[in-house]
Structure formats: C-alpha cells, structure tokens
Amino acid sequence: MENTSHLKVLVMTNEYQPKIIGGLGIVATQLARALSRIGVDVTVLCSGYSDRLTLSSPHENLRIFRFPKDARYFTHNKQAYKSDPVLQAAIRKGLTKPDLIHVHSAEFADTAKSAADRFHVPIVYSCHSMTALGISSPAGKNQTKLIRFANQIIVPSKWQIHATKRRYPKANLKKFTVIPNGVMQRSNQSIGAPNQLLYVGRLIPSKGIESLIRAIGLLSRNHKQVRLTVVGSGTTNYQRKLRALTKRVGVGKRIRWIKKAPYDAVQRMYASYGAVIVPSKNESFCLVALEAMANGVPLISTLSGGLKEFVNDKNAQIIPAVNSINIAQAIKAFWNNPSQSKNKLIHAHSTATRYSWPAIAHQYRSFFTNLVEVEQP
C-alpha cells in the first residue's frame, strides 16, 4: 500500500473497555486507540452492555460496534458470535471493506472467517494465551479454527510460540510473529509502605496465589504490619478455597479482596503500594508486571513463561521458584535492600519505556501493511 494512513483494520474482540476481564481486553483497547492515533482506520466489533447494537466514534479514525451478547448475535453453547447476523448488522450500520481483519478473541473465529471470505482480505490472530479449558472445549475449538485458518499469528512472547506448538503440534511456525504487549507510560512513583503488597490478576492455580497466601503467613510471624491486597476474581469454588486457606494460615485480616475494579481504577491503585507481587507458574507475557514498572512500583516476580523476556534481576526482585518459602524470601530481600530496590526501579522505568503503546502500534502497523501488500491479488 502506498500510504499507511489509509490502512483499514477490522478488529474483533470479546473484551473492550469498559468490558475488560484481563490482559486481552487491555491490549485490544489500547492497541486500537494507539493505531487510530497514528493514522490507521480502526473499526472494532465487540460485546456491549446494551440490549441493542450501538455505534460510537471516540476518535476520527476509530469506530466501535458493540453487540448484545444475546441469541441474536451469540451462541452460548458454542461460545461463538453468529457470523451472518453480526456482519449484516454492522454493514447496515456502515461497515465497509477493510484491508485486514485482526482477531483477539476466539469467540469471533467464525465471524472472522466469514468476513475474510466476503471481503477477500487476510486474517491476523493475536493469540494472547492458550484457552484454559482445553482443546475440546468450545473455546478450544474456536481457537483451533483460528490457528488453522489465520494468515498470520501474533504472540506476545517467544515462549507463547512454543506453548502454542505444544497445544497444536501441526501449527505452521512460519505464521508466527512476536510483537510484545505495550503499556501506558506513567509519571507515578510508589508512595506505598514496603509492607503494603499488591497482587493483580485472575484467581487461578497457575497464578501462584495459594503459595503467595502461605508466604504472607510465613512473613506475618516476624512482620506484623505485612498486608496484601488481591485484585481479581475466579470461579466461586476456587475463591472459597482461597478464603479457606487464608483462615487456615491465619492471615484472614491481613488480606484485602477486591473482586472487580475498572482498568483505570487499578492503574491508579498501583502507586499506593510498596510492591507488586507476580508469583505466576506460567505467563504468556504478564501485563501486570509491565504496568508495575511503568507506574514506578517495585516488582517482585517469577521468570515464568514470557516474563523472562523482559523481567530480570536488574529491574525486579526475582522469585526463583513458586513456593511459599521462595516468595517470602524474595519479599524479605526486597525489604532488606532499599537502595538495591531503587536501582531496580530505574532499570524498570527504562524497560517500560521500550514498551510504550505508540512504539508497539508502529510495529503492528508495519506488520499489517506488509501483510496486506503481500496478500493483494
């Protein structure tokens, strides 16, 4: 294409602000905004809260179609949007031929394929992680379709390429490209007391939250002021299990639970804490770690999965293994070395700067433009 300012991208994502569950929704929202600001015409198809299809244009290069997640547009047993009703409704509202379709959510697999066939344009799938319920689940089946028919697949880390290949052995590795996630640059500096700790993320076993709770129990024996705020939710059964664990460990009064908080509210929370804890057993990338760096908050983290591609002992206090003893020792090392922690914050700020959303958006635009040029008849 001669002028990238005319690049038209049709984005499909189940999550989009204010409806954000995790990292996928943050990336889909921030990337769409960043691309629109550098001249890309972005149209977003996403779910909404209204009982009717709504259209908004918050920026001259950005349009957002929000669909009710009801029987008109969505099949719940297949966890999939209905391609014909979605596309026909969007076209009636003014959707025109894009140059490329960019899919974030597996729920849009069928719709993406139908749109690609209708408009004769390529599909790019941003694979943020493997579906948690497995390849045979509705979500897994939708993801399998995207892995198979997407022209190109973007992942946030090299680790995610290998994770995808393990799940889908027949996947064509030539289709994979790594473009990391971005982060909003902040001027914040942590003002929280070191004993005020923060965890942000889903409540699932792989996040290491059980070991973190036990670590708080170990620390509380000699550090009576230690407190942990947990921002996130999970299944009812797993949340009950975690609450029961806090009682057994004796830290029920030391842990504050916040099930849901808007994205902007979470960003404002960071600077009020002494450190952010990321005790994950595996991560495709981990935006929370990068957000801590961008917000000037000390990071105490594992190097699991994609984390090791931007987290290191120069910008974070490292948890060498996910168990209560190692987590507690890493937190104590942070407490005992304030000057070292200040140096890590300097390196963390430098790291976050390299992952600014404008820089990441330019990588995406170049990738999209090159793909469209190759795929043009």
* Judgement on whether residues 80 and 129 belong to the same structural domain of the protein: yes
- Distance between CA 19 and CA 57 in Å, rounded? 17
* Judgement on whether residues 254 and 369 belong to the same structural domain of the protein: no
Which ranges of the chain would DSSP assign to H, the alpha helix?
23-37, 83-92, 109-119, 138-149, 158-167, 209-220, 236-249, 263-269, 287-294, 324-336, 338-354, 357-375
Other CB atoms within 10 A of residue 122 CB: 20
- Distance between CA 177 and CA 362 in Å, rounded? 15
- Distance between CA 282 and CA 289 in Å, rounded? 13
Asked if residue 189 is part of any domain, the answer here is: no
* Judgement on whether residues 149 and 222 belong to the same structural domain of the protein: no
Other CB atoms within 10 A of residue 163 CB: 19
- Which residue type is seen at 14? N
* Judgement on whether residues 94 and 202 belong to the same structural domain of the protein: no
* Judgement on whether residues 165 and 248 belong to the same structural domain of the protein: no
**pLDDT number for residue 377:** 58
Cα distances from 15 to residues 6, 24, 121, 180, 217, in angstroms, run 26, 7, 23, 19, 36
For the chain, the domain total comes to: 2
Burial tier of 312 (Cβ tally within 10 Å: 0-12, 13-18, 19+): middle
* Judgement on whether residues 121 and 212 belong to the same structural domain of the protein: no
DSSP letters spanning 343-358? HHHHHHHHHHHHTBHH
Instruction: Indicate left, alpha or beta for 286 from its phi (over 0: left) and psi (-120 to 50: alpha).
Output: left
Phi and psi angles of residue 368, each rounded to the nearest 5 degrees, phi first: -60, -45
Both structure tokens of 218: 């170990």
Asked if residue 45 is part of any domain, the answer here is: yes
* Judgement on whether residues 201 and 172 belong to the same structural domain of the protein: no
- Distance between CA 159 and CA 137 in Å, rounded? 23
Q: pLDDT tens digit string along 154-203?
A: 999 999 999 999 999 988 989 999 999 999 987 777 788 999 999 999 99
Asked whether the whole model's pTM tops 0.95, one would answer no
* Judgement on whether residues 74 and 98 belong to the same structural domain of the protein: yes
Q: What is the mean pLDDT of each run of 10 residues along the chain (377 residues)?
A: 69 93 92 96 94 91 96 95 97 96 97 97 95 86 95 96 91 94 83 94 95 98 95 94 96 93 88 96 95 96 96 98 98 96 94 95 97 81
* First CA to last CA distance, the chain: 12
What residues have CB less than 8 Å from 59, skipping those under 6 apart? 33, 36, 37
Asked if residue 215 is part of any domain, the answer here is: yes
Asked if residue 188 is part of any domain, the answer here is: no
> In the chain, what is the greatest distance between 2 CA atoms, to the nearest angstrom?
69
* Judgement on whether residues 312 and 370 belong to the same structural domain of the protein: no
Other CB atoms within 10 A of residue 145 CB: 17
Asked if residue 187 is part of any domain, the answer here is: no
Asked if residue 191 is part of any domain, the answer here is: no
* Judgement on whether residues 219 and 178 belong to the same structural domain of the protein: no
Enclosing domain of residue 203: 196-354
Asked if residue 47 is part of any domain, the answer here is: yes
Closest alpha carbon to 216 in 269, 256, 261, 273:
256
- Distance between CA 224 and CA 215 in Å, rounded? 13
The CATH number of whichever domain residue 349 belongs to comes to 3.40.50.2000
